[in-house]
Amino acid sequence: MLSIYTLDLIYFLAALTFVIGLKMLSHPDSARRGNQLAAVGMGIAVLGTLFLHPSALKLGEARTMKLGLIYAALAIGGWAGWASAYRVKMTAMPQMVSLFNGLGGGCAALLAIAELKSLYVHHYPTPTGLLLVLFTMFFGAVSLTGSLLAYAKLEDLVKDSAITLPRHTIVNLALLVVILSLIGYIVWGAGTTGLMLGMVLFGIALVYGFSFVAPIGGADMPVVISVLNSCTGLTAAAAGIIYDNLIMLVGGILVGASGSILTILMCKAMNRSLSNVLIGSFGAAATGGAKAVGDQVVKEVSVSDAAVLLNYSKSVVIVPGYGLAVAQAQKICKELDDLLDSNGVEVRYAIHPVAGRMPGHMNVLLAEADVPYTKLYDLEEANDFIKKADVAIVIGANDVVNPAALSDPSSPIYGMPVLEVWEAQNVIVMKRSMKSGYAGIENDLFFHARTKMLFGDAKDTLQKLVSEVKAL
């Protein structure tokens, strides 16, 4: 009895670390400590379960072997997770989030399968218990295959056109109707065939997860990952109810709630509804509005001229994007920042909510280079001081600075809040080429009267800029 109370206390403390850790993640200065605190809480919860949970204490004669298998799985999984997280680049963080999220959903689905078998083997299941188990199985399977496909899309392993069927939305709706009908039949009319039909349901749910993500364009993958993350949280919470496990319940609720909030914020940042993201296939192909028309003139600027312009300005706004992350140029960017600051130039950073591949991507990247958080400004504040800036320098960003979002009703990004860098006195856009962004559309900013293009790899170009500014 004492062990039960001790385990409840451990779960309570672990849940407390989750909540505090999640709160600490809201600020870059405390985010690392918050993550570590939550990890410690999870470790305590796992150890408490292994040594104090009633089911762990009643493993029977094969206790040693079963515990050995559990320890081996923990060691292998722990090493794989640590090694993957240690080696992953910041540019690939969304892919890792998607992969880990999918594995979490798959784990919950396997637990649901085991519980479904137990329900039919030991006693006839109740409708409520069956519904909960099938719910966990369905969302876990969808999260597994959907997240794996999202990972493949972000990693450019799969092209949208290769897996999208004609009228794919109708195909998905048909699959969903079949799944819901099957769940209803298993719960209220299948009888002893429920176990076999449950396996059929699992298979169809795996197909639906893949098919659900297939027509959604690459530009919307971060939103899809967030939606699937919410699904994984819900399955974990449902599994917590099934096994009467407090820590699974709390952890699942926190994941589901935070994923839902993140989804809403991302949709708001793109001025789109969730249904439009999931059905609209935005970014699936480089077709649609915002194509260049008429005479379009691109003006280039040399590194030396750009250095002079920056060095003799009073106010400079830096807009980081995915190109900065790909080039791993954040530390060189910080060096340029320090040089300009020492010459009396006010340097600030304008951060779009969906710059990079996930919200907060740029914040973490710049924090890694020790850029003070007080220099980072969100969309609304940034647009206020951009109008007063002498120079706005765009490093690898594209769609988030596209004027078509405000001026071209035919553009697929029309209505999306963007950083209005063209309001600055001068604009320098650093890019490798004139290639379109993730949305697959032309950027009118490149042809703006105040814009000058500085072509080249972000890291190399910034290094040359630093050298030129030092020489002035």
Catalytic positions, written as ranges: 399
Measure the CA–CA gap between 133 and 116, rounded to whole angstroms. 7
Measure the CA–CA gap between 216 and 284, rounded to whole angstroms. 6
Q: Residue with structure tokens 């220099």?
A: 375
Measure the CA–CA gap between 120 and 103, rounded to whole angstroms. 26
Measure the CA–CA gap between 158 and 345, rounded to whole angstroms. 45
Residue type at 350 in one-letter notation? A
Instruction: Check the CA dihedral 182-187-188-191 and report its sign.
Output: positive
Measure the CA–CA gap between 53 and 116, rounded to whole angstroms. 21
What b/e string do you get for 302-316 counting C-beta neighbours within 10 Å, with b at 16 or more?
A: ebeebbebbbebebb
**Token reading at 463:** 């290094």
Which of helix, strand or coil describes residue 404? helix
E strand map for 195-321: 315-320
Residue count of the chain, please give it. 472
Residue type at 376 in one-letter notation? L
Q: Bridge partners of 395?
A: 320, 430
Closest to 382 measured CA to CA, from 362, 408, 410 = 362
**Token reading at 1:** 């009895």
Instruction: Check the CA dihedral 218-222-223-225 and report its sign.
Output: positive
CB atoms within 10 A of CB 454: 22
| 236 close to 210: Cβ distance less than 8 angstroms | no
Contacts of 76 (CB under 8 A, 6+ apart): none
Measure the CA–CA gap between 47 and 65, rounded to whole angstroms. 17
